[in-house]
């Protein structure tokens, strides 16, 4: 025997919904009083909730790269090859490679955490479901949402770069530890902030201007050259042997992060003039921030 579903059954078979409760919720709701600051704060709180939820994977992502780098360059190489010196460092009287590497690694962490920490969530939020509209409907101008994205990315970058310090401090062969001390706190803090905001601004531009389907290619043509030619593994001054390259890499924002940190942490390796570093980091933040906010707005508003 077959049972027929009467039309009247359809509604009652669905999940019960308390009509009175909904009506009360509409009429008795607390009246909201949004302000720019409250909304911005709530958006930042949302970012940290998400980061906290992914804390383990975020931590692993930020620790693996510096850990493996220092393991190979400050532990394996000294053990098997009797100590690797870079040209520039050796000329300055035996600065070990770990010392050269630490500011560079921090620079590359800025790039990983700041740029891709900003870009990847944006790519997801702009994908076919456009979940960005959730936040775009918050009662603030769209550019405030963009600035919030930069701030969230910058904080990630800041923390990601700091993680390098304990890792490199503990992992190295005997006598191969980096020689680091903060020679100038003001320069150190400014470089950390400037590098964080610059990479996050670049991330905002990249995440809104790039076709998500070409992200693999972006890794190949942006991340790789920026890291390999970003004075991560050698100080900029050491490039004087290849003059054309030394000039060409000035286009690479990574160079100023690595060199700024060398000035603040490992001045013995030699570094670029501080004014040039500051100009590039903060000027770059303004330029990329402006462009990023513009493309962000154009992507949100059709």
Partner 1 sequence: MTASLSGTVIEPAPDNAADAAGVAIRTEGLRKTYKSSRGDVEAVRGIDLNVPQGEFFGLLGPNGAGKSTTIGMLTTLVAPSGGRAWVAGHDVVKDTVAVKRRIGVVTQNNTLDMQLTVSENLQFRSRFFGLPAKVAARRAAQLIDAFGLGDRRNAMADQLSGGQARRLLIARALVHRPDVLFLDEPTAGLDPQTRVNLWDILKVLHESGQTVLLTTHYMEEAEALCDRVAVIDHGKVLAFGTQEQLKDNAGADTIVTVRFDADLPSDFTERAQLSALPGVTRVEADGEQLRVFSREPEGLLGTLVSTAIAGGLHIRDASEQKPSLETVFLTLTGREYRE
> What residues numbered 33-52 form the site for partner 1, per CB under 8 A?
33-35, 38-39, 41-43, 45-46, 49-50
Minimum CB separation from partner 1 for residue 116, in Å? 16
Q: Does 23 bind partner 1 (CB under 8 A)?
A: yes
Which of 3, 6, 14, 174 is the binder for partner 1 (CB under 8 A)? 14
Distance CA 267, CA 181 (A): 9
Q: Beta-strand (E) ranges in 51-168? A: none
Report the candidate in 174, 179, 156, 172 with the shortest Cα–Cα distance to residue 100. 179
Residue 218 Cα distances to 32, 41, 105, 131, 224, angstroms: 42, 32, 20, 23, 9
Select 48 or 170, whichever has its Cβ closest to partner 1: 48
Binding segment toward partner 1, per CB under 8 A, in 17-25, 169-177, 181-189, 215-223: 17-25
Greatest extent of the chain over all pairs of C-alpha atoms, in Å: 95
Q: Is 55 in the site for partner 1 (CB under 8 A)?
A: no
Angle 104-161-287 from CA coordinates, rounded to 5°: 80
Quick check: 302 binds partner 1 (CB under 8 A)? yes
163: tokens are 């993680």
- By CB under 8 A, the residues from 121 to 150 that bind partner 1 are 128-142
Nearer to partner 1, 135 or 172 (CB): 135
Determine if 244 is a binding residue for partner 1 (CB under 8 A): no
Q: Which residue bears the tokens 């990601």?
A: 160
The residue among 135 and 262 lying less far from partner 1, judged by its C-beta, is 135
Residues 6+ apart with CB under 8 A from 21: none
Q: Which residues are near partner 1 by CB under 8 A? A: 10-11, 13-19, 21-27, 29-35, 38-39, 41-43, 45-46, 49-50, 53, 128-142, 300-302
């Amino acid at each position: 025997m077959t049972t027929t579903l009467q039309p009247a059954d359809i509604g009652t078979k669905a999940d019960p919904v308390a009509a009175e409760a909904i009506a009360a919720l509409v009429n008795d709701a607390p009246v909201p009083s949004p302000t720019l600051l409250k909304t911005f704060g709530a958006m930042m709180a949302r970012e940290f909730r998400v980061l906290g939820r992914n804390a383990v994977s975020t931590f692993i992502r930020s620790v693996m790269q510096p850990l493996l780098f220092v393991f190979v360059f400050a532990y394996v190489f000294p053990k098997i090859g009797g100590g690797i010196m870079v040209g520039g460092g050796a000329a300055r009287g035996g600065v070990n490679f770990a010392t050269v590497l630490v500011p560079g690694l921090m620079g590359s962490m800025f790039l990983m955490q700041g740029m891709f920490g900003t870009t990847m969530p944006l790519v997801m939020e702009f994908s076919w479901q456009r979940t960005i509209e959730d936040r775009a409907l918050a009662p603030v101008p769209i550019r405030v949402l963009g600035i919030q994205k930069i701030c969230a990315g910058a904080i990630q970058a800041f923390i990601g770069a700091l993680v390098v310090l304990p890792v490199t401090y503990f992992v190295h062969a005997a006598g191969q530890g980096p020689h680091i001390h903060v020679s100038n706190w003001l320069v150190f803090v400014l470089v950390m902030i400037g590098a964080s905001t610059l990479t996050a601004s670049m991330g905002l531009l990249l995440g809104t201007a790039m076709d998500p389907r070409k992200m693999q290619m972006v890794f190949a043509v942006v991340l790789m050259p920026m890291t390999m030619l970003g004075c991560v593994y050698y100080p900029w001054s050491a490039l004087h042997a290849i003059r054309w390259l030394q000039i060409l890499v000035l286009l690479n924002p990574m160079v100023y992060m690595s060199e700024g940190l060398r000035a603040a942490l490992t001045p013995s390796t030699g570094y670029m003039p501080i004014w040039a570093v500051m100009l590039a980091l903060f000027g770059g933040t303004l330029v990329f921030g402006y462009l990023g906010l513009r493309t962000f707005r154009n992507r949100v508003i059709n």
